[in-house]
Amino acid sequence: MTQTIWSRSILHLDIDAFYVNVHILDHPADAGVPLVVGGKPDSRGVVSSASYEARKLGIRSAMPTSRALRLCPQLRIVPTNWSQIRECSHQVMTILHTYGPVEQISVDEAYIDLSERAEPENLAAEIQTAVFTQTHLPCSVGLSTSKLVAKVASDHEKPRGCTIVPPGTEAAFLAPLSTRVIWGIGPRTAERLAEISITNCGQLAKADSHQLRAIFGKHGPAMVQRAKGIDKRSVHAERSPSKSISQEWTFNRDVADESVLAQQLQKMCASIATSLQKKNSQLIQFMSNFAGLISQPSHVSAVSRSASIMRKRFCALPTSYGKIIGKQDKHYDYWVWG
């Protein structure tokens, strides 16, 4: 039997329903039932993580828990245990570091560079088993020659999936899958691709790069390359500094008092400023996203309560001063504090 030669091998590991399974470690009786980790439904809480039993009922992450409860009246809703989540994440990452350089993407997923290891296809199952044996957390893994394909592979047979895409089979593996599996292709880009009869990766890989460049600019030809499984990004063992810092707030009830909104905005900007100062960083670009606005910019005639408006602009001068950050909103006439 001919041994597969891997010029590069990258494994992507994703812990299945991480927040849910962390909860089940201490509450085994909750295993196998529709369950979500999230906020209270009467406080505009949202779902942070849903068990696979809940997902079968149409419940998804970021969904309001009130809606999730309507879909499943027997749904169990539990709060997030951040301390245990961080501890479990640390345990998993410690295990992964014994196999090779690790690039942690979030608390529940990471890339491992196995290029220096022999027979990486055997290591994929070994790593998956090691994580479950030592932490009792189920996970899915994907192995391929690039970060892009490895990540798609880890999601291919969830939960507890182990998908290996050998060298030379990347394009064939991606071909029948939706273009949405390619990083950088969101809902709107997928819609525009569908308008020119491109709905899966196989069609995108065969598309005319010049035509796509005319529609999407430089991202057009890049999408064609990614659809073929070509991705030269390497695993970065050291996490790069965050490129963005965000704050969000959901009121328990609709608020029409602009002074209340301005006060909350001031607190959020002050928090962002503190984070910037701790990182010795400065704000360069400001982005705001408002839903159900009370006052709209002059060019918007009407906004429904469920509408969402996003605006962004570059600062005249980089800053880490809270008041200046808050005044970035003045350009859009939403609300201003001085």
Each residue's pLDDT tens digit, 95-118: 999 999 999 999 999 999 999 999
- Parallel, antiparallel, or unpaired for β 35-38 and 76-78? parallel
**Which strands, in side-by-side order, build the sheet including 109-113?**
102-106, 109-113, 10-15, 139-144, 162-164
**Domains contained in the chain, number:** 4
Nearest to 105 by CA among 183, 163, 180: 183
109, 121, 170, 191: which is the annotated catalytic residue? 109
Whole-model pTM: value is 0.75
Distance CA 36, CA 33 (A): 10
Residue with the larger pLDDT of the pair 139 and 335 = 139
162 and 179: one domain? no
Q: What percent of the chain has pLDDT over 90?
A: 66
Res 42: pLDDT: 84
Res 268: pLDDT: 80
Active site residue 109: yes
**pLDDT for residue 122 is more than 80:** yes
Q: Is 239 among the domain residues?
A: no
Distance CA 95, CA 11 (A): 14
Predicted confidence (pLDDT) per residue in 242-299, tens digit: 556 777 666 666 777 888 888 888 888 787 777 777 766 665 566 565 554 444 443 4
88 and 65: one domain? no
Q: Is 48 among the domain residues?
A: yes
Over residues 219-233, mean pLDDT: 96
- Say which CATH number the domain at 63 has: 3.40.1170.60
> Structure tokens of 325?
């950050």
b/e burial code for range 134-157 (CB count within 10 A of at least 16 → b): ebebbbbbbbbbbbbbbbbbbebe
The torsion angles phi and psi of 319, rounded to 5 degrees, stand at -150, 160
DSSP 225-284: HHHTT---PPP-SSPPPPS--------SS----HHHHHHHHHHHHHHHHHHHHHTT--EE
Mark which of 120, 145, 167 sits at the end of a domain: 167
b/e burial code for range 18-29 (CB count within 10 A of at least 16 → b): bbbbbbbeeeee
Distance CA 10, CA 120 (A): 9
**pLDDT for residue 327 is more than 70:** no
Q: Is 22 among the domain residues?
A: no
145 and 75: one domain? no
Res 265: pLDDT: 80
Q: Is 203 among the domain residues?
A: yes
Which domain covers residue 34, as residue numbers?
27-80
72 and 57: one domain? yes
- Say which CATH number the domain at 142 has: 3.30.70.270
Label residue 214 exposed, middle or buried (CB < 10 Å: 0-12, 13-18, 19+): exposed
68 and 103: one domain? no
Q: Is 246 among the domain residues?
A: no
Predicted confidence (pLDDT) per residue in 142-170, tens digit: 999 999 999 999 999 999 999 999 999 99
Predicted confidence (pLDDT) per residue in 72-97, tens digit: 999 999 999 999 999 999 999 999 99
Q: Is 241 among the domain residues?
A: no
87 and 161: one domain? yes
Predicted confidence (pLDDT) per residue in 168-188, tens digit: 999 999 999 999 999 999 999
